[in-house]
Amino acid sequence: MKKYMLFIAVICFGVIVFTATLTGCRKQALEYTTTSDVNIVDYLRRYPELYSEFVKVLDRTNISPFLNAYGAYTCFAPTNDAFKLYLQSLGKNSTDELDTAALSNLCRLHLIVDTISTGSFTDGKLPSPTMYGQYLITGVNDNGATVINRQAIMVQPNILTGNGYIHAIDRVLLPAALTIAKTIEANSKYSIFTQVLKATGFYDTLNIANNADTTRRFLTCLAESDSVLKTIGINSYADIVAKYSQTGNPKNPNDSLYLYAAYHVMPALKYVADIVSSQSHLTLAPQSVITVSLAGQTVLLNEVTFRGVLEPGIAINRSGSDNSCTNGVLHDLSGSVVLKVRQPYRVDFDLGDQPEIRKLTSIYRRAGRSQSFTYGQLKDVNWQREASTVTYYVDAATTSNHYWWDDGFSFNLRTAVNNWIEFKTPLIVKGRYKVWMCFRRSNMGQYTQVSVDGVTLPRICDFFSNITSTISGAALEATGYKRYAVNQTQNNNFAVLAGVVDIATTDRHTIRLTCIKDQGTGSANSVTFDFIQFIPESDNQLRPLYGRDGSIVP
Amino acid sequence: MKRTLLINFTLLALLFVAGTSCNKYLELQPQDGIIRQEFWKTKEQVQSAVIGCYASLLASPTNNRPLSEVLFLWGELRADMIAPGIGITADENDIINVNTLATNTVANWATVYQIINYCNTVIDYAPSVLANDNTFTQQQLNQYLAEVRALRAMMYFTLVKSFRDVPLKLKSTSSDTDLQQLPKTSGDSVLTQVLAYLQFADSNAVITHGNTLTDKGRINKYTVKALLADVYLWMEKYAECEAACNYIIDSKKYGLIAGNSGWFNNLYYVGNSNEGIFEFQFDQQKLNSFYNIFLTSRQRFLASPLVMEQMYTVDYVDDNNKDIRGDGAAVRTSDNAIWKYVAVDYNSVRAADQSNAHWFAYRYADILLMKAEAINQIGGRGSEALDLVTTIRNRAKALVGTNPNPDPADRNAVADFILAERAREFAFEGKRWYDILRNAKRNNYERLDILLNMVSKAVPANRQISAINKYKDPNRNSNYFPIFFYEIQANPNLVQNPFYQ
């Protein structure tokens, strides 16, 4: 019996061990990698029917190793059909026949060290340059397809791999071959413009072919075709010399033809989409800007209202523009943009006259009304502390204040409350101006520093102390003060001279008031401002006078 | 013997234990809810299920985006009346930039299909109650079915307007075995179905539910007519649209709220006014999601500056001369906040726990303007259409500058005027994009220029040309949403809209 039990026990043990061996000892499949996502080149290798040619080229130019390592890349991958078309255009049968260095440059034009999905595509250049150094531009054609560099159509966007994005394209992208100067010269419609560039020396400026491996110095050129020049009566190079070149030497930087050419070249790389994104752009003409506005889809240059007169703008011919060159981009104008000589003239900048406030018709210049604004609500006013607010207010007709238009603009100016505030001015013509701060005396802002475009003005303004009531006119002006109101006997609304400023460009500028030392204790008090005057240095500083009803008395 | 006895007792004990415990631990029914087999017994249960469908308009039990927010995003993001605020999400910004990808969560239709499933459930199971509850009549059943069928039609209509071709799911999903992987049905076929449901609802819906609250919050015959008018207008069946509008107008049960000092309060703040036809009934128990979207320091959307500058316009000379729908109603002009859903009146805002402004599916003003649009398209009745627009404009004290005085015989000019008036009247009510698309696609995209002009103003300047070109080829569905990528992964029978492939 015992033996029998033992036998059963042995069998049981055997069965258990056998089952355990069968099940337990099997090797478990453990995942040792954190992801099964492949990197860019491995992804391309997976689809040889689409990308075998591209992979072959990447391997040969030794780009595959780093493109398959970790990093952040964007790869525009031409398909095999794209390479077939490319080789056909060169008359070759295989990429083996091509020079390795040239192929390497070609590949680098397809790679960006950044992850860029189609969400970042605009009408202009991509945010980062290619490894070749040239920027790629994007766009959408009439069929709604995304176009890269005006050369290839994107066939599959946004393939996300372990180290970046792949965008499949149907043509090989070709680097720009010519400089801006050569591109203009090659196009017969720019024959007069080419001669102007050569005569003024800007042809050479626009002809510096940068190396791909050094930092590039990009330029943007706005070219005017012969037909455009014909509309303003210029039919030949001789005509344009006769019209502009007053010194007879176009290479002289003071010659108007030189300035004409300089005004058509902008430093930095600016595609049309970049041009519309900013209000003004510097040119190579000293201290001269081109201003930009957008009317519908038309980009207008230099459309400004100057002294109340609207000067119509010149449109960029969008379809003929955005031509990539090795050292920049070339645009085509549909009219002639000229540099205008403008004499400095006075600007009375009413701080309350902001576009957002103007729209509040029930408040703007309505007696007794006021409105506070928080940070970000006024696009042309910016201040240090987000929590601080500014107030636009209009006096009731019964007050004893003498604001121009009866309206003022108040804000805090105290180190701990709001250290500075800055305003974007209206258009100021370049020149030298005296800056007068016109305000209502209050318990704040005794030590205020004024700066224009970051240049500090010499005098510390005091928005607190009394004016000397016994003197007036030129004697008062000599002390740096003046009464600007029509009522010349009151001593609360007056102006203090902040200094003389050199306005370098005809543009909208930034004026900033900074508190450099706290005054008193009243943190809730605010500076109550009326307007800021920019008066040309040589003009009469005391007249005209400004009335509560908005009148200006000469 | 002793041993046998012991065994017997043990067995007996086991039997007891087994006999008592079984119905506890083998219980499979949930103990904190009611299962379908025990529901659908009485007419009260049918009623609560129907009310449940309406409740799903206010919020989703599974925390999908609330329908009112979905309708706002779908109706306004692609149009020209909103601007991005500080708190806007990347997905929303992409849609404003006309950069929609299939991964964009705004294009997720889950909220809408969830409501469709609730409706389907009622439609599938409510008829079985007839057998269990003798006090439940066929007529009552049909009235309930009219409501949910109309609601389902409304959901499918929204989907067709947004995606064009969508899967048509007409059976409820109550268990895993009901899951279906449906292919897309063409937009036109879905609309034919939608019309069929609405015609059923038209002949079965009640004239009134008995009180104002339920008449504005539940579907009655007039709601069905309003829906029919909208669907007919979309399908370019103008005579039918006019008939549906006339039914509502001739009933004399609705009117415009006078444009006096109480206008905003009656129409928007309190809601359920004489002008409302169908409103989502947010109240203090169920708040809408708009407070955080429009009012906090991280507001997601602002009104575009164009809304005041070009749509309502401003009289710079006389501040009392203003369109009552603009400053202080649709927009707070001092900071361009979208004001309609968060305001108490011109100056004050709702508290966060008072954010219960209704969502307006249809208002009487909509009926008048739909009729105007339809009869203008019928032709030869331009001046009659303009009279209707004038009624709306006079109520709102619209500024003279916004009246282009079109020639009544010039069909396109009148259509443009009606479209612009709809923008003013229904600002931020989730209708703008669909209005533009409906006018642009009419007669096989005869007026594509409306869409292109709109988008050129709405997108940032550096993306303008790309955006225009994307909309230029309407045959690839570029002006409809992509199907959300998750749906494509889950259902291999779905094919992405061609523009997004």
- Determine the residue among B88, B96, B319 to mutate to test chain A binding: the one whose Cβ has the most chain A Cβ atoms within 10 Å: B319
Based on the domain organization, do B296 and B242 belong to the same domain? Answer: no
User: Bigger pLDDT: A338 or A437?
Assistant: A437
Neighboring chain A residues of B320 at a CB cutoff of 8 Å = 362
Chain-chain contact of A122 with B463 (C-beta, under 8 angstroms): yes
Based on the domain organization, do B130 and B176 belong to the same domain? Answer: yes
B225, part of any domain:
yes
Neighboring chain A residues of B468 at a CB cutoff of 8 Å = 297
pLDDT of A255 higher than 70 = yes
- Determine the residue among A147, A167, A322, A362 to mutate to test chain B binding: the one whose Cβ has the most chain B Cβ atoms within 10 Å: A362
- Determine the residue among A361, A370, A380 to mutate to test chain B binding: the one whose Cβ has the most chain B Cβ atoms within 10 Å: A361
Give percent of chain A above pLDDT 90: 36
A122 → closest Cβ in B94, B462, B471: B462
Query: For residue range B435-488, what is the model confidence (pLDDT) as tens digits?
Result: 999 999 999 999 999 999 999 888 888 888 888 888 887 777 888 999 999 999
Which strands sit side by side in the sheet containing A314-315, from one edge to the other?
A280-282, A289-295, A298-301, A314-315
Based on the domain organization, do B408 and B302 belong to the same domain? Answer: yes
Q: Which residues of B make CB contacts under 8 Å with A?
A: 86, 90, 94, 97, 99, 101, 308-309, 314-320, 322, 327, 333-335, 453, 456-457, 461-473, 476, 478, 499
Q: What is the mean pLDDT of residues B18-29?
A: 59
Based on the domain organization, do B323 and B404 belong to the same domain? Answer: yes
DSSP E strand boundaries for B242-375 = 276-280, 301-303, 331-332, 337-338, 359-363
Q: What is the mean pLDDT of residues A304-316?
A: 83
Neighboring chain B residues of A277 at a CB cutoff of 8 Å = 461-462
Based on the domain organization, do B195 and B296 belong to the same domain? Answer: no
Assign B82 a pLDDT band (cuts: 50, 70, 90). very high
pLDDT of A12 higher than 80 = no
Least confident interval from A279-293, B58-72, B76-90: A279-293
Cβ atoms within 10 Å, residue A451 = 18
CA closest to A158 among chain B residues: B101
Q: What is the mean pLDDT of residues B153-166?
A: 95
A139 → closest Cβ in B453, B461, B465: B465
Range of the domain at B445: 290-476
Please name every residue paired with A371 in a beta bridge, in sequence order, or none if there are none: A392
DSSP string, B31-90: SSS--GGGSS-SHHHHHHHHHHHHHHHH--TT-PPPHHHHHHHHHHTTSSSEEE-TT--H
Report chain B's mean pLDDT, rounded to a whole number: 89
The gap from C-alpha B278 to its chain's centroid, in whole angstroms, comes to 10
Least confident interval from A155-169, A517-531, B127-141, B208-222: A517-531
pLDDT of A520 higher than 70 = no
Give the per-residue pLDDT at A31.
75
Neighboring chain A residues of B457 at a CB cutoff of 8 Å = 296
Interface of A with B in 310-369 (CB under 8 A): 318, 356, 358-363, 366
Neighboring chain A residues of B335 at a CB cutoff of 8 Å = 373-374, 377
Give the per-residue pLDDT at B328.
87
Give the per-residue pLDDT at A20.
56
Chain-chain contact of A366 with B97 (C-beta, under 8 angstroms): no
Q: What is the mean pLDDT of residues B486-493?
A: 90
pLDDT of A11 higher than 70 = yes
Based on the domain organization, do B327 and B466 belong to the same domain? Answer: yes
Q: Work out the minimum CA distance from A377 to partner chain B, whole angstroms.
A: 6
Could you give all domains of chain A from N- to C-terminal order, each with its CATH number?
40-169 (2.30.180.10), 180-333 (2.30.180.10), 347-553 (2.60.120)
Assigned token pair, A190:
């720019």
Give the per-residue pLDDT at B196.
94
Based on the domain organization, do B299 and B235 belong to the same domain? Answer: no
Give the per-residue pLDDT at B180.
82
B322, part of any domain:
yes
Based on the domain organization, do B129 and B247 belong to the same domain? Answer: yes
pLDDT of A214 higher than 60 = no
> B220-235 burial, b if ≥16 CB within 10 A, otherwise e?
bbbbbbbbbbbbbbbb
Query: For residue range B169-194, what is the model confidence (pLDDT) as tens digits?
Result: 999 988 888 788 899 999 999 999 99
Give the per-residue pLDDT at B10.
60
Contact A546, A486 (CB under 8 A): yes
Residue A198: which residues within 8 A CB-CB, separation 6 or more?
A: none
Give percent of chain A above pLDDT 70: 94
Based on the domain organization, do B232 and B311 belong to the same domain? Answer: no
Is the ipTM higher than 0.95? The answer is no
CA closest to A156 among chain B residues: B501
Chain-chain contact of B469 with A140 (C-beta, under 8 angstroms): yes
Neighboring chain B residues of A165 at a CB cutoff of 8 Å = none
A297 → closest Cβ in B97, B314, B456: B456
Give the per-residue pLDDT at B5.
57
Q: What is the mean pLDDT of residues A93-105?
A: 89
Give the per-residue pLDDT at B26.
67
B280, part of any domain:
no
Chain-chain contact of B334 with A139 (C-beta, under 8 angstroms): no
Q: What is the mean pLDDT of residues A201-229?
A: 81
Q: Can you give the CATH number for the domain in which B252 is found?
A: 1.25.40.390
B246, part of any domain:
yes
A121 → closest Cβ in B90, B322, B466: B466
Neighboring chain B residues of A167 at a CB cutoff of 8 Å = none
pLDDT of B195 higher than 90 = yes
Pairing of strands B301-303, A481-482: unpaired
Assign B371 a pLDDT band (cuts: 50, 70, 90). very high
Assign A190 a pLDDT band (cuts: 50, 70, 90). very high
- Determine the residue among B97, B104, B455, B466 to mutate to test chain A binding: the one whose Cβ has the most chain A Cβ atoms within 10 Å: B466
Q: What is the interface size between A and B, counted as CB pairs within 8 Å?
A: 90
Neighboring chain B residues of A294 at a CB cutoff of 8 Å = 461, 464
B449, part of any domain:
yes
What is the model's pTM? 0.80
B267, part of any domain:
no
Based on the domain organization, do B224 and B296 belong to the same domain? Answer: no
Assign B24 a pLDDT band (cuts: 50, 70, 90). low
B281, part of any domain:
no
Based on the domain organization, do B223 and B341 belong to the same domain? Answer: no
How many domains, in total, are found in chain B? 2
B68, part of any domain:
no
User: Bigger pLDDT: A277 or B110?
Assistant: B110
CA closest to A124 among chain B residues: B462
Least confident interval from A335-339, B197-201, B361-365: A335-339
Neighboring chain A residues of B333 at a CB cutoff of 8 Å = 359-360
Cβ atoms within 10 Å, residue A62 = 11
Query: For residue range B270-315, what is the model confidence (pLDDT) as tens digits?
Result: 999 999 999 999 999 999 999 989 987 778 999 988 898 889 988 8
> B325-362 burial, b if ≥16 CB within 10 A, otherwise e?
bbbbbbbbbbbbbbbbbbbeeeeebbeeeebbbbbbbb
Query: For residue range A143-163, what is the model confidence (pLDDT) as tens digits?
Result: 888 899 888 999 888 888 989
Q: What is the mean pLDDT of residues B110-128?
A: 94
Neighboring chain A residues of B322 at a CB cutoff of 8 Å = 361
Neighboring chain B residues of A363 at a CB cutoff of 8 Å = 319
Give the per-residue pLDDT at A1.
55
Report chain A's mean pLDDT, rounded to a whole number: 86
Based on the domain organization, do B127 and B210 belong to the same domain? Answer: yes
Residue B242's φ and ψ, nearest 5 degrees, are: -60, -40
Chain-chain contact of B466 with A140 (C-beta, under 8 angstroms): yes
Q: What is the mean pLDDT of residues B324-343?
A: 88
